[in-house]
Chains A and B, each alone.
Chain A
Amino acid sequence: SQKIEQNSEALNIQEGKTATLTCNYTNYSPAYLQWYRQDPGRGPVFLLLIRENEKEKRKERLKVTFDTTLKQSLFHITASQPADSATYLCAVELTGGGNKLTFGTGTQLKVEL
């Protein structure tokens, strides 16, 4: 069955360091992959989208890579700040399309002073 996996353990890093989060998928060949941020008790907020023919995408301090051979996406936050603390979700479109996304369980990031 199709599955998206993110590290369920929280990631604690020091302010200023680069945070790297991983998203692995199986039994998928997604045309694109998306990353969202979710704060406690709030709806997710779209961050970045990367297509299968793109190796890397950047937006300000964010960088996403997409390795279709490894079936993996990495999400990087450089020069991390306490305000970056949140849960980060990756998502891919379900087979059959229609813009229906399936989400990973998310990884909680905590940036400490």
Chain B
Amino acid sequence: GAVVSQHPSRVICKSGTSVKIECRSLDFQATTMFWYRQFPKQSLMLMATSNEGSKATYEQGVEKDKFLINHASLTLSTLTVTSAHPEDSSFYICSATLAGSYAGELFFGEGSRLTVL
């Protein structure tokens, strides 16, 4: 199946710094990628939809200036958490669908655990 790679898998940063997370589709082109966030014992919450070559679409309640998303190529989307604070500590997961997929089953990356001190 399709492989999605995320990097880094774990990151610890100081409060106020920015952190970039990369999401790559390794063996297919992903015109659309999705970024989710998951807090402990909770479900995945969709943050934004990342479209190649255009601005990301953010879900209600997600600050677009805080969570910068760039989808510069068909195989790479990045999420930058700017001026991170402890409450941003979470598990961030990207996903992508295969072009032409009828029902859009998602292929997920391994996730990136962010800890803000």
Q: Are B43 and A43 in contact (CB under 8 A)?
A: no
Q: Are A43 and B95 in contact (CB under 8 A)?
A: yes
Q: What is the CA–CA distance of A17 and B110 in the complex, to the nearest angstrom?
A: 30
Closest to A44 in B: B108
Q: What is the CA–CA distance of A105 and B97 in the complex, to the nearest angstrom?
A: 21
Q: What is the CA–CA distance of A104 and B38 in the complex, to the nearest angstrom?
A: 12
Q: What is the CA–CA distance of A108 and B43 in the complex, to the nearest angstrom?
A: 12
> Does A45 belong to the interface (CB within 8 Å)?
yes
Q: Which residues of B contact A100 (CB under 8 A)?
A: 34, 46, 49
Q: What is the CA–CA distance of A43 and B2 in the complex, to the nearest angstrom?
A: 14
Which stretch in B12-20, B67-75, B99-107 binds the other chain?
Answer: B99-107
> Does A59 belong to the interface (CB within 8 Å)?
no
Q: What is the CA–CA distance of A32 and B43 in the complex, to the nearest angstrom?
A: 19
* A interface list, Cβ under 8 A from B: 31-32, 34, 36, 41-46, 49, 51, 89, 91, 93-94, 98-106
